[in-house]
Chains A and B, each alone.
Chain A
Amino acid sequence: MDVMAYPALREKLAARDRSLREKVMSLEEAAALVNDGDSVGIGGSTLSRTPMAMIWQLVRAGKKDLAVSRSITSSEGDLLFASGICKHIMTSWFSQGIVWGVSKVMRHHVENKLARYEEWSHLAMGMRFRAGAMGVPFLPMRSMLGSDVLKLRPEAKSITCPFTGEQLLLIPALNPDVALIHVQRCDAYGNAQIDGLQFMDMDLAMAANRVILTTERIVSNDQIRRVPELTKIPFFAVDAVVEVPYGCAPHECTNVYEPLFSHMDDYTSRVNADPVAGMQEYIERYVKEPKSWNDYLGMLGLTELLDAARRGRSMLND
């Protein structure tokens, strides 16, 4: 992924319609904003605020050759690789979650060279998005030096600091073509509020050339203006707003629902037992066959959704 020259970076953003306008659309319409071959940055981290509904829709739409980046990758990475819409993931950690061991789906694709897992340190992923957000080609950093993680990443350049003579590592900016970010609430213009952990989402939103927001609910602009300090992404950086309740399921959305642990247990035991056929069956059943996202939620089951919601909201109990 080449670092963009500054004039090109500015031009891409200048081409965007920044005007105050309503951007509410369906998952299908938003998926049309993602082109084959795009570099796609994904918000949230591990099991938290994963824009699962949007990823699910990209699989249904049969996208091709997406180059995906995320701070930490969980089971959505299995889905991206096994569905064939993505053959390249840049991240710092990739498995379903430590409690489920090593993802056999990730292993199958990487060990058989069907797809590429490009490993950066967690801070390096953060520096990539932050440099992208700052409009500079790189940021200096002190980790990754001396390790084999660096040996595999010739994209990062080691230099001698002109001020101190110390060795530093320059981490190249990442400006994804499009960012997918799920939030608790936003207005129809795209002013987005995030509760709890923000991960790298603010930098990702500023770095990307297009931003697709999925949200648990769309609220009025007045509601946003009541607590503007909770707004983490401004409307002019947003291109699409899709209201998708439970849009992270089976992952979590802070204060709304926790991960659907029974589904995750069932999913991981199934696909890790048979990373090829088991994973394809899962995609057929849970991604391709449902008529809609709501239909998919119905398959996850009311009991489990309600339990996840009870646990999610319990954060606010005391």
Chain B
Amino acid sequence: MTSFADCTASEVLAIMSSRLLEEGQVVFAGVGVPLLAATLAQRLRCAGLTILFEGGVVGPMIEPGQLPPSTNEQRCTKRANMVLSSTDVLLLLQRGHVDIGFMGGAQIDQHGNLNSSYIGDPENPRTRLPGTGGGNDISSLTRMIVAMRHERRRFVEKVDFVTSPGFLDGGTSRRDRGLLAGGMYRVVTDLGIFGFDDETKRMKIVALHPGVTLEQLRDNTGFEMLHDKQIAVTTVPTERELTTLRELDPDRLYIA
């Protein structure tokens, strides 16, 4: 048995989020931790997991140590079943062929909205971030898992800009604004795993990682996190999970 002290934050994210994926699912994965976690799940538990990449890839089997710099290069197509145009692979989301969308996040709010476009006022931004890529499409059209670092500046009450929609203003607002499918399912961080309240669609603790206290969570979260009286605790990464993950990314491109 390993302990959390043996893992980097990105390793915790990759292993914990990998465990949420199930055999037979079709998973649309972003670059970085999502790509690693989906590949880890494929290798350890779910040989029948199908990964999709926005470059147009259907069912690749990423080679250890040959991680792509984004989801648009030739390494993404390694041992794939099919390549499509990027437009057509994204349309699989709209048609409903995808079980889970899986991506990283820069900033998230209590309703699961993600910002990867602007810090500050969009008209006069303090920082222009790279933007949505496929993020808006994935989160608009399917059930989402987000893996990201748990920091107060990243977990805010309301994002500066909704790049990729979660539950918008909560309640039924997502559906009311025309997004008839999908929504945030889980947010995985280095402190725990979070879901959303059925009614209010506010973020809620599903489980905390061993040793993480509510106080520590509050210190690192910019809004009030909902929770039940009893809080579940996750299981520490196994030796096998950690070893396999490190074999996938020996250069520590994404698990540094």
Point out residues on A near B: beta carbons under 8 Å: 45-48, 71-72, 91-95, 97-99, 102-103, 106-107, 110-111, 117, 119, 121-124, 126-127, 129-130, 141-149, 152, 158, 166-169, 196-203, 252, 254-255, 258-259, 261, 312, 315
Q: A92-B134, A143-B136 are in contact. Are A110 and B70 (CB under 8 A)?
A: no
Q: Are A197 and B69 in contact (CB under 8 A)?
A: no
- 9 A-B pairs with the lowest CB-CB distances in the bound complex, closest first: A126-B87, A167-B178, A146-B177, A143-B140, A93-B133, A95-B130, A145-B178, A121-B136, A46-B72
**Chain A CB within 10 Å — which of B31, B77, B87, B134 has the most?**
B87
Residues of B within 8 A of A106 (CB): 128, 130
| A45-B55, A199-B86 as given contacts; A119 in contact with B72, CB under 8 Å | no
Please give the number of chain B residues whose Cβ is less than 8 angstroms from any Cβ of chain A in the complex.
55
A147 touches B162 (CB 8 A): yes
Q: Which chain A residues lie closer than 8 Å to B132 at the CB level?
A: 92-93, 119, 121-122, 149
Q: Write out the residue numbers on chain B whose beta carbons fall within 8 Å of the beta carbon of A98.
A: 31-32, 69-70
Binds A, one of B5-13, B163-171, B220-228: B163-171
Measured CB to CB, the nearest residue on chain B to A256 is: B74
Partner of A47, one of B69, B129, B133: B69
Binding site for A on B (CB under 8 A): 31-32, 54-57, 69-70, 72-78, 83-87, 90-91, 93-94, 117, 122, 125-137, 140-141, 161-165, 168, 173-174, 177-181, 253
A145 nearest CB neighbor, chain B only? B178
In the complex, what residues of B have CB within 8 A of residue A143's CB? Answer: 93-94, 136-137, 140-141
Q: How far apart are the CA atoms of A143 and B178 in the complex, in Å? A: 9
Flag if B128 contacts A111 (CB, 8 Å).
yes
Q: Which residue of A lies closest to B169 (CB)?
A: A146
When the two chains form their complex, are residues A48 and B87 in contact, meaning their CB atoms are under 8 A apart? no
B53 CB → nearest A CB, Å: 9
Closest beta carbon of chain B to A276's beta carbon, Å = 16
14 pairs from A and B in contact (CB 8 Å cutoff): A45-B55, A46-B72, A93-B133, A102-B130, A110-B125, A117-B128, A122-B134, A142-B140, A142-B178, A143-B137, A145-B177, A148-B122, A196-B77, A197-B76
Name B's interface SS.
loop
Contact A93–B130 (Cβ < 8 Å):
yes
CB atoms of A142 and B86 under 8 A apart: no
Choice from B72, B164, B180 contacting A48 with Cβ under 8 Å: B72
What is the interface of chain A mostly: helix, strand, loop, or mixed? mixed
Q: A46-B72, A146-B178, A198-B83 are in contact. Are A121 and B137 (CB under 8 A)?
A: yes
CA distance in complex: A121, B138 (Å): 10
B122 touches A122 (CB 8 A): no
Q: A residues within 8 A CB of B181?
A: 142
Residue of B nearest to A144 (CB): B136
User: B32 to chain A: which residues have CB within 8 Å?
Assistant: 98
Q: Are A123 and B165 in contact (CB under 8 A)?
A: no
Q: Known contacts A121-B132, A200-B86, A259-B69: does B127 contact A142 (CB below 8 Å)?
A: no
Q: Which residue of A lies closest to B120 (CB)?
A: A111
Distance of A253 from chain B, by nearest CB (Å): 9
Specify the chain B residue showing the minimal Cβ separation from A99.
B69
- Rounded to whole Å, the gap between the CB of B13 and the closest CB of chain A is 15
Are A47 and B70 also in contact (CB < 8 A) when A147-B162, A148-B161 are? yes
> Is the beta-carbon distance between A110 and B86 smaller than 8 angstroms?
no
Q: How far is the CA of A48 from the CA of B73 in the complex (A)?
A: 6
Given A127-B87, A146-B178, A197-B77, decide whether A97 and B70 contact each other with a Cβ distance below 8 A: yes
The residues of A that contact B180 with a CB separation of less than 8 Å are: 142, 166
Q: Is the CB of B87 within 8 A of A117?
A: no
The docked-state distance in angstroms from the alpha carbon of A254 to that of B72 is 10
Q: A46-B70, A48-B55, A148-B122 are in contact. Are A203 and B87 (CB under 8 A)?
A: yes
B85 in contact with A126 (CB, 8 Å):
yes
Residues of B within 8 A of A167 (CB): 177-178
| Contact assessment for A72 and B133 in the assembled complex, using a CB-CB cutoff below 8 Å | yes
Residues from chain B with Cβ under 8 Å of A199 in the complex = 55-56, 72, 85-86
